[in-house]
Amino acid sequence: VFCKSAVSRGVVPRRGWEWTKLAAAAGELLPYAFEKSDAQEKWGGENFFSAMMGGRSLRFTAVAALGVEFQGGGNSAEEKAAEGALRKLYSAINGRWVELLAGAATRERRAGGQSGGDVFDDVGGAAVWRALEAAVRANRPNADGSGGM
């Protein structure tokens, strides 16, 4: 949902973005909780004024990608429209991940290996997201907190 929103809002280019690299990095990070302290360790503390001074914080990037201000705001027509679009996108994808990937695979087989006409087209194609799902499964911690399966 985040990636599709980022593409539609122009935060990520429609062409030339290396989705396979994003998926490879995400496959190692997504299986684990990401806390505020992790962000501070990796990128430094949040500076409210960084966006005004030309910098980009994680919060600024999220607002740009999603179109929704998470602290206050939410009253403008533009933000309400962005929130509505985000809810619609979330509803279309949430709980349907396996079904969407399977549908994309079926369409690819019918089209001789070419993807097209599915929810993954603007975010690197279904193969990228199948690889991400496999990486998340492989890197998921076991119940005892040890490494992947």
Residue 43 and residue 59 in contact, taking contact as beta carbons nearer than 8 Å: no
Of 31 and 75, more confident: 31
Residue 66 token pair: 């999603």
108 touches 130 (CB < 8 A):
no
Residue 21, by phi and psi: left (phi above 0), alpha (psi -120 to 50) or beta?
A: alpha
Q: Model's pTM, two decimal places?
A: 0.72
* pLDDT above 90: residue 70: no
| In the chain, where the domains are located | 2-139
Residue 78: predicted pLDDT: 81
Look at residue 81 in the predicted model and tell me its pLDDT.
85
What pLDDT was estimated at residue 108? 66
| Per-residue confidence (pLDDT) for residue 25, from 0 to 100 | 93
pLDDT digits (tens, 9 = 90+) for 121-148: 889 988 899 899 899 989 888 756 566 5
In this prediction, residue 42 carries a pLDDT of: 78
Confidence check: pLDDT of 116 > 60: no
